[in-house]
Amino acid sequence: MSGLLALLDDVAAIVKLSAAQLDDIAAQASKAGAKAAGVVIDDAAVTPKYVTGLPAARELPIVWKIARASFFNKLVILLPAALLLDAFLPWLLTPLLMLGGAYLCFEGAEKVWHLLVPHKEHGPQQADTLDAAHLEEQRVKGAIKTDFILSAEIMTISLSQIDIDSLWVQSAALGAVAIGITALVYGVVALLVKADDFGLFLSTRGRLGLTRGVGRGIVRGMPSVMVVIATIGTIAMLWVGGSIIVHGLHDLGWHWPYDTITAAAEAVGGQSGLLRWAVTAGLDGVVGLCLGFILIPVVTRLVIPVTGWLFPEKG
C-alpha cells in the first residue's frame, strides 16, 4: 500500500512538473509571439498580392503551398538553426537580429517612399504576358523567398524573448510560435483573398435584401480593408525594426539612442504606461523610418545588383 501511495505521489509530482513546464511554454510563446507582431502583420499584409491576377480557383491552393513551405522553413530549418546559434554562438544573435531589423526598416521605408513618389506596379501586369502556370510558379517562389526572410526574423525575435534556459522549453515555445503564427497568418490570408468572392456570392445569390446588401458591402469594402492592413503592417515594421535596432545598439554598448528614447517617454508619458509605450513606439518608428530611407539607395543600387550577379535567375 505504501509503495502504491509513493508511486501516486511520484505521478502527481510529474504531472505538476509537466503542468508547470506547459505554463512556461505557453507564457514564453505568448511573450515571443507578441514581440514578433510587427512582422506577423506585415506577413499577412504582403502575402495576398501573390495571388493577384491568377484564377480564383487557384487562390487557396497557392496560399496552402506558401503556408506549407512556411511551416517547413520555421520548424525544420530555422528552429534548429536558432537553437544551435543560441547554444554555440549566442553573441551572433544580436547582430543577426539587428540585420533583420534593418531589413524591416528598409521594407517599411520603401513602402512609405513609394507612397510619396508613386511608381508603376509591375507585378499583376505580368499576367498578360505569362501563362497562368508559369506565373503561379514565379509567384509561389517569390512568396516563399519573402516568407523565409520574415520567418527568420520571427524566429530570431521570438528566441530573443525567451528567458528560460531549458532547451526543452525553448524548443517547445519556438515550435508553438512557429505553428501558431503560420496558422494565424495564412488563415487570415485565406479569408482575405476569398472575402470578395464570398461577398459577390452573397450579393448575387442572397435571398434577402439585407444579405445582398451585406455582400455588396464586403465587395466594396475589401479594397479599403487591404489598404488599412497594409498601412498597419508598414507602421508595425518600422516600429519593430526601429526597436530592434535601438535595443541592439544598447546591448552592443551604444546606449545614447535607447537612453534618449526612454527619457523622452518618461518625460512625456509620466505615470501613464500606455502613453510611455506610445512615445517609445513612435520614436522607435522614427528611427526605423530614418534608417530605412538611408538603406533604400544602398539596397537598390548595391545589394540587389550584387545579389543578382552572384545568384542569377534561371530562365
Q: Which three cell numbers stand for residue 304?
A: 540587389
**Contact (CB, 8 A) for 186 and 63:** yes
Position 287 scores a pLDDT of 96
116 Cβ contact list (under 8 Å, min separation 6): none
Identify residue 124 by its one-letter amino acid code. Answer: P
Report the C-alpha gap between 108 and 233 in whole angstroms.
8
- What are φ and ψ of residue 221, in 5° steps? -85, -20
Q: pTM of whole model > 0.85?
A: no
Residue 231 near residue 251 (C-beta atoms within 8 A): no
Instruction: Map out the domains of the chain as residue ranges.
Output: 12-310
Q: What's the distance, Cα to Cα, between the start and end of the chain in Å?
A: 75
Three-state helix/strand/coil letters over the chain:
CHHHHHHHHHHHHHHHHHHHHHHHHHHHHHHHHHHCHHHHHHHHHHHHHHHCCCCHHHHHHHHHHHHHHHHHHHHHHHHHHHHHHHHHCHHHHHHHHHHHHHHHHHHHHHHHHHHHCCCCCCCHHHHHCCCHHHHHHHHHHHHHHHHHHHHHHHHHHHHHHCCCCCHHHHHHHHHHHHHHHHHHHHHHHHHHHHHHHHHHHHHHHCCCHHHHHHHHHHHHHHHHHHHHHHHHHHHHHHHHHHHHHHHHHHHHCCCHHHHHHHHHHHHHHCCCHHHHHHHHHHHHHHHHHHHHHHHHHHHHHHHHHHHHHHCCCCC
> 63, 29, 71: which is closest to 46 by C-alpha?
63
C-alpha cell at 2: 505504501
Task: Write out the chain's pLDDT in tens, 315 residues.
Answer: 554 444 434 333 333 333 344 444 444 445 444 555 556 665 666 667 666 666 777 788 888 898 999 999 999 999 999 888 888 888 888 898 888 889 889 988 998 998 888 765 544 444 445 566 777 788 888 788 878 877 887 888 777 777 767 777 778 888 888 888 888 888 888 888 888 788 888 888 767 777 888 888 888 887 787 777 778 778 888 888 898 899 999 999 999 999 999 999 988 877 777 898 889 989 999 999 999 999 999 988 888 787 778 766 554
Q: What is the pLDDT of residue 76?
A: 92
Q: What is the Cα gyration radius of the chain?
A: 23
